[in-house]
Amino acid sequence: MWVFEDIPFGHTVEIGSATVSAEEIVAFGREFDPQPFHVDAEAAAKSHFGGLVASAWHTASLFMRALVERVDRLADEIRAAGGVPGRLGPSPGFENMRLPRPVRPGDTLFFATTPQDGRPLASRPGWAVAHFDNTVTNQHGEVVMTFRSAVFVTRRAD
């Protein structure tokens, strides 16, 4: 991960991708979001979706997995170049989750984040908070999820 001073504010970063299967949608739905349109293809066909769709929480979890994997790769790249990667702290939360289109079986999702702004934390020397606008699109380039997140990140030692 970047230290706060190296975050590329205003620049979109591609994070990764994942293809979602019907089996994964049903398994996640059964365990975490057992609504009929997530767990039963026949019931889903009769729903307003007209077929099986992934839970928003499933889509968000796939984003998070891709993000953690991207952060780990970035840290390895920074170390390989002789640098010291930043560290992430907890996230104080996210807001404005939007789901303009459903995620369906067979969709390939593409994850991206755009760092927007941030500030040093007076209450936590050596740390800052950064805000990111996140987007998930499908293989057709259609947006299926957006949200804004915040994360604590270390600052460069003074």
- Provide the pLDDT confidence category of residue 1 given band limits of 50, 70 and 90: confident
Q: Where are the domains of the chain?
A: 4-154
- The answer to pTM > 0.75 is yes
Task: Give the side-chain half-sphere CA count within 13 A for 20.
Answer: 30
- CA 115 remoteness from chain centre: 13
CATH superfamily for domain 4-154: Hotdog Thioesterase (3.10.129.10)
CA distance 38 to 103: 10
Q: Report how far apart the first and last C-alpha atoms of the chain are (Å, whole number).
A: 18
Output the CA–CA distances (angstroms, integers) from residue 155 to 1, 63, 87, 102, in the order listed. 11, 25, 9, 38
* Residue pLDDT, tens place only, 140-157: 999 999 999 999 999 986
**Structure confidence by residue, pLDDT tens digits, 109-144:** 999 999 999 999 999 999 999 999 999 999 999 999
Handedness of CA 70, 72, 77, 83 (dihedral sign): positive
In contact, 143 and 100? CB cutoff 8 Å:
yes
Q: Beta strands 108-120 and 93-98: pairing type? A: unpaired
| 44: its two tokens | 């889903």
